[in-house]
Amino acid sequence: MNGLDIVFHTPEIPGNTGNAIRLAAVTGAHLHLVEPLGFDLSDAKLRRAGLDYHDLTHVTVHPDIAHVWEALGDRRIIAFTTHAQDSFAEVSYAPGDVLLFGRESTGLPAEVADDPHVDLRVRIPMLPSRRSLNLANSASIAVYEAWRQNGYSGGA
Q: What is the pLDDT of residue 141?
A: 98
Q: What is the pLDDT of residue 28?
A: 92
Q: What is the pLDDT of residue 18?
A: 87
Q: What is the pLDDT of residue 89?
A: 96
Q: What is the pLDDT of residue 76?
A: 98
List, for the chain, all residue ranges whose pLDDT scores fall below the cut of 50: 1
Amino acid sitting at position 16: N
Cα–Cα distance for residue pair 38/106, rounded to 1 Å? 13
The answer to whether the Cα torsion of 50, 37, 88, 5 is positive or negative is negative
Q: Is residue 31 within 8 Å of residue 20, measured between CB atoms? A: yes
Q: What is the pLDDT of residue 1?
A: 46
Global pTM? Answer: 0.92
The fold of 5-149 is Alpha/beta knot (3.40.1280)
Q: What is the pLDDT of residue 2?
A: 56
Cα–Cα distance for residue pair 114/137, rounded to 1 Å? 23
Cα–Cα distance for residue pair 11/135, rounded to 1 Å? 9
